[in-house]
A and B are shown apart, each in its own frame.
Chain A
């Protein structure tokens, strides 16, 4: 599975949109981009995933560039409960292993 690169930390004001970038320049055609988050000492939580089209669900939006080399997770109205470590993971169809890097620690500031 392709390696992903994320900034180690970001701040976001409460109520504003949080835009979390992820670089996956070596991603192959059958690899999906998954986003998970881990709130302190809890189990990771699945957020969203996509292949090449932009995706939206009740938690977030995922924007994938046309060349698929990078993506952005958007939390439209960040709250204090969104403070967490966010992981971007590239995983191929049929793969069973989620490879977690260090992720981005998002701090939502009141």
Chain B
């Protein structure tokens, strides 16, 4: 059982470039989320989804797009990378209801 898989693990982008962070889960979880973590800070929610075809914004959505065409996948798109988006990005998933989230191992993104 792989859990939540994030790719790539590391990425360096130039300002203005676009890219997609991949997230896949094999637990048939309805809920999926993207968080970012900056040094010395807690995780902040970017976007979340409660099921295929349904997404919504979190606390810090600007500069990011998401889609959820399948239950398993929840990619995060950076439209035009900025240095302020340098961060560690975590994807998480959970069953519907009051259950804990399973997190991926993270993508470390640097924008230069």
Beyond A49-B100, A97-B48, 20 additional contacts (C-beta under 8 Å) are A32-B98, A34-B100, A36-B100, A41-B88, A43-B104, A43-B105, A44-B92, A44-B103, A46-B102, A46-B103, A93-B98, A96-B31, A96-B33, A96-B48, A96-B50, A96-B56, A97-B33, A98-B35, A98-B92, A98-B101
Q: How large is the interface on B (under 10, 10 to 19, 20 to 34, 35 or more residues)?
A: 20 to 34
Main secondary structure of the interface of B (DSSP, over half): strand
Decide: A101 and B103 in contact? CB cutoff 8 A. Answer: no
Main secondary structure of the interface of A (DSSP, over half): loop
What residue of chain A has the Cβ atom nearest to residue B91's Cβ?
A: A43
Complex Cα distance, B78 from A56, in Å, reads 41
A45 adjacent to chain B (CB < 8 Å)? yes
